[in-house]
Structure 1
Amino acid sequence: MSVKVSVVIPVYNPGPYIEDCIASLLRQSLPDDAYEAIFVDDGSSDGTPARLDELAAEHPHMHVVHQEPSGWSGRPRNVGTDRARGEFVMYVDNDDWLGDEALERMYDYGVANAADVVVGKMAGKGRPVPLELFRVNRPKANVDNAPLIDSLTPHKMFRKEFLDKHHIRFKEGRRRLEDHVLVAEAYLLASNVSVLSDYVCYYHVKRDDASNAGFQRFDPVGYFQNLREALDVVEHNTEPGRLRDKLYRRWLRNEMVERLRAQRFLKLPEDYRKELFDEIHSVVTERMGPGVAAGLQPTQQVVAALITTGRFADVEPYARWEAGIKPTGRLDSLEWDEEGRLALGLTAEFQVDGAPLRFRTEDGQPQLDLPFDPETADALRAAGASTRATVDKARVGLVVKERASAAEFYQPIDFTVDRVPLASEGADAEAAREPADGGDFRMVLRGLGTIDPGTAAGGGALGPGIWDVYVRIIACGWSKAVRLGSVRDETVDKARRSALSGEPRRLVMPYWTEGHGNLSLDVDCATNWINKDLAPLTPRDLAFSDGTLRLPVPLHAAGEERVLLRFKPVRKGDAPKEVPATVAPGDGGAVLTAALPGPELARAAWTMDLGVPSARRGAPRWTPLPLGVKVRADGRPAFAAAPAVTRAARAGRTRSLPRRIMGRVRRTFRRA
């Protein structure tokens, strides 16, 4: 079999962080003879060279190249590319890792769409990754019809013939943004770029020691000289006008404006701030026409205007104001619908210093309430910056994020944007829903979203584990996310239920996180929250007649679901007894129904377990019920709390147990 994919990994002193990368390569679903990994050791001085030699000796499709240190990752990647035998080349950093099916899926997708470049969905572990780009699959993408320019890291799959034909290689030496130069050129020259968004292909990881090369402080002069080289690529391959301005805007926004905003700017040493600002000012005035900044969001246009006009003294006050702006979210409702989807009602808005973020209305137009004096405000307007608050374009997103991998997926949501007047305080102002014609107002977003466990992961099912739920507010140039659930309506706790979902069936459980009370989804019993949900059950909840017991359980059931009930003996030597059971809709939740095998349980005391299906285990997940039963010789049961049954049985008082509790049980049954 010919090699489909060559994975090139530049390596320099990764220590133990390379192990996750190696493990992910060995787990790939492609057959070993269909791909190769080329580790290019760039003069590592730790134990990595020996580790890689050992790996190559054990696995014929793993190769190692040792070379003298070159100072950066450009040369190692080029060496690996020149040695690659695959139809495609995939670049992976030594402290990141791949999804198990990444190479197979990306290769097949690239071939199916005749792509020169394949961009796989990324997840950021402590690192930001593009979100908008990966909302949907984009089989036929380019820099004009998709936000490709948002993703300029090299962690993509490139057709080897395409790289060779256009002599595309990384710039070498100790430098920055060599990946921007290569990826921008590839985007602009490719016949087609395909974006695969329904599977997480690449995990971009921040080390625990934050020693990744991209996290080290840079020399502004050298950095922005390298950035100019990326701009040169765009200039060489585009004509002046809208598209060039759109592409330039990516570097203005991400590499310049965003570095001067909020905490990212305030965390910098004061002497470094001015040096950084001066270099950014130099690039903007040299290379960026007015059409570049004009396409930014208003809050970004403000910073761009400060840069253009050289108003460094105003950057810090603006950064402090923005740093105080926080997103808030309230969970208003939570329930399973008839389609097996979890429906969530929510309210979200921005706050600053604990109060709603204030917007102004001037000449009928909403405006940002900026922290500037009139002179600065006039200078910004003269520089062309818009201070209009684009609340009419505000969006709210419902996001689920896998805790282990940091994979994020947007969920369907319908929402409204309301301007609530701030002219008066109290219930009247809060109840107002119509846009304000004048005066100050707050922006309130109200949404109804759904999470379908079978399709929530980019069209696929949520995998087993913990999925945290976020609300993201996108407005006026801010994109801020906050956990959902810690602030919630009092009805939500009563409505919270677990549900069986998917094929094969598994339990999906909404629950509140310890300490913070945020909403998370436990998929396939990754936690013990089901134990907590079942703990409040008491013998008074049971009903028994005609040999059948019925028990209301805190589950959601749209129809009849098959489960198991297990009776575990208190006395040693007896074997557990399992019986089929069902969970079906009932008042306030669901009702568990099972036949009680009285003769098999006679003359013994038993505790009870509920067994729910588990796709991950391939066998039931057993959870103890807080109930026990003592069955008399004639098959009549007496139920009590499980601890009482266990204590009585172990104390040798099983004969007296029925007499002590039978009266209470009978009264309970009569009331039921």
Structure 2
Amino acid sequence: MTKPLVSVIVPVFDGRDTVGRALESVFAQTLPAEEVEVIVVDDGSTDGTSELLDELARTRDGLDVVHQPNSGGSGAPRNRGLERASGRFVFFLDADDRLGPEALERMTATAERNGTDIVLGKQVGTGGRKVPKVFGRTIERTHVLDPDCDLFPRMSMASLQLFRRSLIERAGLRFTEGVLSHEDQLFTAGAYLNAAGVSVLADYDCYFWDARADGTSSTQLGGAPPAEVHAIAGQAMALVAEHTEPGETREKLLYRYLLLEVFVLLEQRYLDSTGEERDTLLKGCRELLENWLTPTLLERYGPRHRVLGDCLTHGLDEELAEILRFHRSGRRPAIHLENGRAFLEYPCFRDSAAAIPDACYESGAVLALRHDLLGVAWEDDGLVITGNVLLGDVYEGTLVLDLVLEDESGGLHRVSCEARPAARADEGLAAAYTATVVPGQVSLPDGRWTFRVEAAIEGHILSAPVTKPRGMALPHAALAETETGWRLVRPLPPRGRGPLVLDVGGALTTADLRDVEVGLDADGRLRVSCEPPPA
């Protein structure tokens, strides 16, 4: 008997309402039916799932149903499925999810074409499920140990992918049994580290990943306890270390584990835990940091997680709780600017008792300068620009503002702004300004000059484009006497929203004329009168 191309393994526990739909998505695949083997392992269901599966097996060729006592997680039923699988490839499908009709055909073709051992097909979240942002483009062949591959830190470790069965057997891969979550961490990590190559199929919706509406999946209910999570994470990190040398590649792969199983786990569980549970959580987090956190790996994390890491490694439990409470509150930390550096003011910043290093709070994030244009008008021989700026999340310091004009060749002209002292607003430092551009004095070469506002504060230089809002009327063109003669100077755009531009030396158009009157004089001749651009 010819062996199937792909074995689809479906673990199920009390999935009567969803498993039929999942299986129908397999039966509807565009691959010939004889090339698809379906193995469903019922993990001690009590809701009628067992009977439903037996009935389906009687009417469906290629459907193998296995019953076993409940094992406490998806690991054991997946392993039983692997023992019975005979396909060249194996795909793991959860009983509440489904496949796109061409998924298996496209993924197996991708693997065969590229000689890759794993194909990560595009996953689509349904019911509020979030999926990893790794499907921006199709990647024919890569490997997580390649210097330019960023897949491992960003992907999910869920095994809902296509694997070449020879890889699974060669590397001795199996799922962790008896845990409510993280059962596929070691399997998937081992597969990616041992694979000859990996493909990402991003141009077809392969897998529809559902979040149960009743919130009863094991991960939705909280998953495995921290001690089990940390034990698995420690083994996974050791596996990474076996396949890498100390340095950038190893740290790039280890990053995900400390992020998710230390910092995020603390944010999710610490404040709601008490007593022994809290002690166990802290113990596991500290052990992972002691074993795997290096100074250069710490630098890869954002300020909040660096601060949490310092609290963990130095036994600052009260400070740890304070920072976690701040994060849970949803408040944004203020930004402290000093000598060209920026620090996020999470709790205990420069608290002498805690002595958490400034480097933990330092942020490389781009500061946000917001600009609102309020008015543009000719006054005497100058174009007067008025507006407001807001430096978000910064509440201390002195803003020095310039209006900068830049032409298409990169030429610059700077005009100092008259600004009222910055005031502390709800969102940060706010300042109103006025700047006057006198074309006759600055001798701007002909061309189009785009405006932006530049702000200097505590060693930082920030800029924001000056954008004309929709509905704002701009003044007409004016004539300016320059060193090279008279020039027409016109603010743009006349209509709609867009960057504020000063057009110097352009041709006169009818739009530049005001108070145009057309009529016949006493002799019947056409007479046109208008107000020319002001000088």
CA distance in structure 2 between the partners assigned to 1:368 and 1:220 by the alignment? 29
CA shift for structure 1 position 5: 1.6
2-structure distance, mates of 1:393, 1:147: 28
Work out the CA distance in 1 between the residues paired with 2:321 and 2:81. Answer: 44
User: In structure 2, do the counterparts of structure 1 residues 445 and 207 end up closer, same or farther at CA, with 3 Å as the change threshold?
Assistant: farther
Structure 1 residue 490 displacement after superposition: 7.9
3-state DSSP of counterpart to 2:46: coil
Task: Determine helix, strand or coil for the equivalent of 1:245.
Answer: helix
Q: Secondary structure at the match of 1:72?
A: coil
How far is 1:10 from its partner? 1.0
User: Aligned equivalents of 1:65 and 1:13: distance in 2?
Assistant: 14
Is the partner of 1:198 in helix, strand or coil?
Answer: strand
The alignment status of 1:240 with 2:246, answered yes or no, reads yes
1:216 maps to what in 2?
221
**Equivalent AA in structure 2 for residue 260 of structure 1:** L
Instruction: Work out whether 1:366 is the aligned partner of 2:342.
Output: yes
Distance 1:59 1:372, change over 3 A: same
Residues 1:374 and 1:163: Cα distance change in structure 2 (over 3 Å):
same
* Structure-1 separation of matches of 2:226 and 2:463: 40
2:364 is the counterpart of 1:379: no
Distance 1:175 1:211, change over 3 A: closer
- 2:263 is matched with which residue: 239, 250, 257? 257
SS of the residue corresponding to residue 196 of structure 1 reads strand
**TM-score, with length taken from structure 1:** 0.53
Aligned residues: 394
- Is the aligned partner of 1:437 residue 2:441? no
- Note the C-alpha offset of 1:149: 3.9
**1:203-230 C-alpha deviation (Å, 9 max, x unpaired):** 2222122221223343322331222221
Give the AA of the match of 2:366.
D
Q: Structure 2 vs 1, CA of residues 305 and 134 (structure 1 numbering), >3 Å: closer, same or farther?
A: farther
Cα shift readout 1:304-336 (whole Å, capped 9, x = no counterpart) = 22222222212333233333447xxxxxxxxxx
TM-superposition CA deviations, 1:214-265 (whole Å, max 9, x none): 233433223312222212222222222222222222110011111223xx34
Partner of 1:113: 114
Work out the CA distance in 1 between the residues paired with 2:464 and 2:305. 22
Gap runs ≥5 in structure 2:
369-389, 396-421, 435-450, 472-535
Which whole-Å deviations, capped at 9, do the CAs of 1:266-325 have from their partners, x for residues lacking one?
A: 772444445422321222123333333222122322222222222221233323333344
> Structure 1 pair 140/386, CA: closer, same or farther in 2 (3 Å)?
farther
Could you say which residue in structure 2 is the equivalent of 1:147?
151
Identify the residue that residue 132 of structure 2 maps to in structure 1.
Answer: 130
CA contact (8 A) 1:260 1:315 kept: no
For 1:325 and 1:230, locate their aligned partners in 2 and report how far apart those are by CA, in whole Å.
Answer: 32
- TM-aligned CA deviation for residue 81 of structure 1: 1.7
Percentage of pairs with the same residue = 31
- Pairing 1:84–2:85 present: yes
**Greater C-alpha Rg:** 2
Change (3 A) 1:207 1:105: same
**What is the CA-CA distance between 1:155 and the residue it aligns to?**
0.7
Q: Which residue of 2 aligns with 1:46?
A: 47
1:388 equivalenced with 2:362 (yes/no): yes
Q: What letter is aligned with 1:129?
A: V
Q: Partner residue of 2:195? A: 190
- How many angstroms does 1:89 deviate by? 0.3
Number of the residue aligned with 1:159: 164
Report the CA distance between 1:160 and its aligned residue: 1.0
Q: CA deviation at 1:2?
A: 5.3
What are the Cα deviations for residues 531-589 of structure 1, in whole angstroms up to 9, with x where unaligned?
xxxxxxxxxxxxxxxxxxxxxxxxxxxxxxxxxxxxxxxxxxxxxxxxxxxxxxxxxxx
Aligned residue runs from structure 1 range 341-490, under 5 A: 352=332, 358-375=334-351, 379-381=355-357, 385-392=359-366, 423-424=422-423, 428=432, 433-438=453-458
Indicate yes or no: 2:323 matched with 1:318.
yes
Q: Residues of 1 paired with 2:354 and 2:460: CA distance?
A: 21
Distance in 2, matches of 1:152 and 1:229, equals 14
Distance 2:163 2:458 in 1: 54
- Residue segments in structure 1 that go unaligned for 5+ positions in a row: 327-351, 395-417, 449-488, 492-672
Instruction: Please give the alpha-carbon distance, in whole angstroms, between the structure 1 residues aligned to 2:6 and 2:261.
Output: 32
> Does the 8 Å contact 2:57/2:64 carry over to 1?
yes
CA distance in 2, matches of 1:377, 1:302: 14
Could you tell me which residue of structure 1 aligns to residue 204 of structure 2? 199
User: How far is the alpha carbon of 1:439 from its aligned partner?
Assistant: 8.7
Residues 1:178 and 1:371: Cα distance change in structure 2 (over 3 Å): same
Distance across 1 between alignment mates of 2:335 and 2:366 = 13
The aligned runs of 1:521-536 (5 Å cut-off) are none
TM-score for both structures, normalised by structure 2: 0.66
Q: C-alpha offsets along residues 86-125 of structure 1, whole Å, 9 cap, x if unaligned?
A: 2210011112222232212211221221110111122333
- Separation in structure 2 between the aligned mates of residue 195 and residue 320 of structure 1, nearest angstrom: 39
User: 1: distance between equivalents of 2:178 and 2:465?
Assistant: 51
| Residue type of the alignment partner of 1:312 | D
Q: 1:277 aligned to 282, 289, 314, which one?
A: 282
The CA deviation string for residues 415-441 of structure 1, in whole angstroms up to 9 with x for no partner, is xxx956753355627998435432999
The residue number in structure 2 matching 1:69 is 70
